[in-house]
Amino acid sequence: LWTVVANKLDSWIADVLEPSTDFTKQVKETVNQICEFLKQKCFDTSIRVHKTVKGGSAGKGTALRNNSDADVVLFLSCFSSYQDQKKERKYILDLIKMRLHDCKESLTFTVDIDEPRYKGPGNTPRSLSLTLCSKKSSESIEVDILPAYDALGQVTWGTQPDVEVYVKLLNASSDPGEFSPCFTELQKNFVKRHPVRLKNLLRLIKHWYKELLKPQYPNADLPPKYALELLTIYAWQEGTSSSESFNMAQGFRTVLELLRRHRDICIYWETYYSLQDSQIGTHVKKLLRRPRPIILDPADPTGILGQ
């Protein structure tokens, strides 16, 4: 990256960072096959899949050519509350893992799929992770399958969810961001609605984070990639007034300079939840008084990122 001159940055992103059209198509087909299988054949008649939502980098349109990620969130009828999701998640993940073996045996895929593995903090797995690898190139993507409570129901583009959704979330009193999979659709929409050029800047920032920063500080407790995505969107909104034409090198530099001044970072949006509600407002204002850097998930008011 450091050998690329500023005026060649756009073409370098297109040539090196963007996934190939073929692999993107193969991943989309494979994820659709897996979703359809899980919808139709994973559970008995007592459990229905309300909907599936594809999130992560692939869902947002910010995937990298190598080692990118996609989330497949299954919204299930057996979860009627956040508490149900927490209590029954391990049982559902065991069931999905067992059925994925059948899925691999009975379907033909255009990519290689490795064995599913549990993923999550400590002994409380929150997802099943599988890696899809191209049969023709070195491209790969990690797919996380997450069962979740359908807190939002039907999502309407451009409208805020019912305030009661977030009041129930705050009353569930869980770890920060524990139920963020419930809000994948909003997280995805928040990023996906932005122009392609900004998504390419997001790719560049994530490449720097994964290939340069992490190897340099292997033991550091770094913030999640999603926090960097949100910081980049904020920098673009404030620095260009949301313009589609901006200098890529200058955008990259601006984000790096913000990171150097991380003790000044305090960012939140009111796109999906409003501080006008007394309970939500009290909760968010309490978070905003914490030591910085603070970046709040625009879709989940318990999701305090950037720490």
At 142, phi and psi to the nearest 5? Answer: -95, 125
Q: Is 262 domain-assigned?
A: yes
Residue after which a domain boundary falls, among 134, 150, 166:
150
**Distance from C-alpha of 160 to C-alpha of 155, rounded to nearest angstrom:** 9
Q: In total, how many domains does the chain have?
A: 2
CATH number assigned to the domain comprising residue 198:
1.10.1410.20
Q: Is 11 domain-assigned?
A: no
Rg (CA), the chain: 20
Do 131 and 233 sit in the same domain of this protein? no
User: Tokens standing for 150?
Assistant: 């359908």
Do 239 and 125 sit in the same domain of this protein? no
Residues 227-284: tens digit of each pLDDT: 999 999 999 999 999 999 999 999 999 999 999 999 999 999 999 999 999 999 999 9
Distances (CA, A) of 118 to 55, 121, 122, 129: 18, 10, 11, 6
pLDDT of residue 1: 87
User: Tokens standing for 138?
Assistant: 């070195």
Q: Is 217 helix (H, G, I), strand (E, B) or coil?
A: coil
Residue after which a domain boundary falls, among 130, 150, 170:
150
Q: Is the pLDDT reported for residue 122 higher than 70? A: no
Residue after which a domain boundary falls, among 150, 167, 202:
150
Do 206 and 297 sit in the same domain of this protein? yes
pTM listed for this prediction: 0.92
**Distance from C-alpha of 39 to C-alpha of 125, rounded to nearest angstrom:** 21
Residues 166-199: tens digit of each pLDDT: 999 999 978 889 999 999 999 999 999 999 999 9
CATH number assigned to the domain comprising residue 130:
3.30.460.10
pLDDT, averaged across the chain: 92
Q: List the domain range (segments joined by +) for residue 245.
A: 190-305
Q: Is 294 domain-assigned?
A: yes
Average pLDDT over residues 4-22: 94
Q: Is 232 domain-assigned?
A: yes
Do 23 and 139 sit in the same domain of this protein? yes
Do 102 and 223 sit in the same domain of this protein? no
Q: Is 184 domain-assigned?
A: no
pLDDT of residue 186: 97
Do 197 and 263 sit in the same domain of this protein? yes
Q: Crossing angle for the helix pair 225-240 and 196-207, nearest 10 degrees?
A: 130
Do 146 and 216 sit in the same domain of this protein? no
pLDDT of residue 196: 95
Q: Is 227 domain-assigned?
A: yes
Q: Is 10 domain-assigned?
A: no
Burial class of residue 181 in the structure, from the number of CB atoms within 10 Å of its CB (0-12 exposed, 13-18 middle, 19+ buried): buried
Do 132 and 233 sit in the same domain of this protein? no
Do 238 and 115 sit in the same domain of this protein? no
Residue 37 pLDDT grade (very low, low, confident, very high; cuts 50, 70, 90): confident
241 CB contacts (<8 Å, ≥6 apart)? none
Among 57-71, 91-105, 224-238, the range of highest mean pLDDT: 224-238
Q: Is 6 domain-assigned?
A: no
For the chain, percent of residues with pLDDT exceeding 90: 68
**Distance from C-alpha of 137 to C-alpha of 215, rounded to nearest angstrom:** 24
20 CB contacts (<8 Å, ≥6 apart)? 65, 137, 139
Do 134 and 238 sit in the same domain of this protein? no
**Distance from C-alpha of 206 to C-alpha of 213, rounded to nearest angstrom:** 10
Do 116 and 225 sit in the same domain of this protein? no
CA 277 to chain centre: 26
Average pLDDT over residues 49-56: 93
Query: Are the CB atoms for 142 and 131 separated by under 8 Å?
Result: yes
CA 140 to chain centre: 17
The residue that leads in pLDDT, 33 or 264, is 264
Do 55 and 129 sit in the same domain of this protein? yes
Q: Is the pLDDT reported for residue 221 higher than 90? A: no
Pairing of strands 294-296, 111-113: unpaired
Amino acid type, 271: T
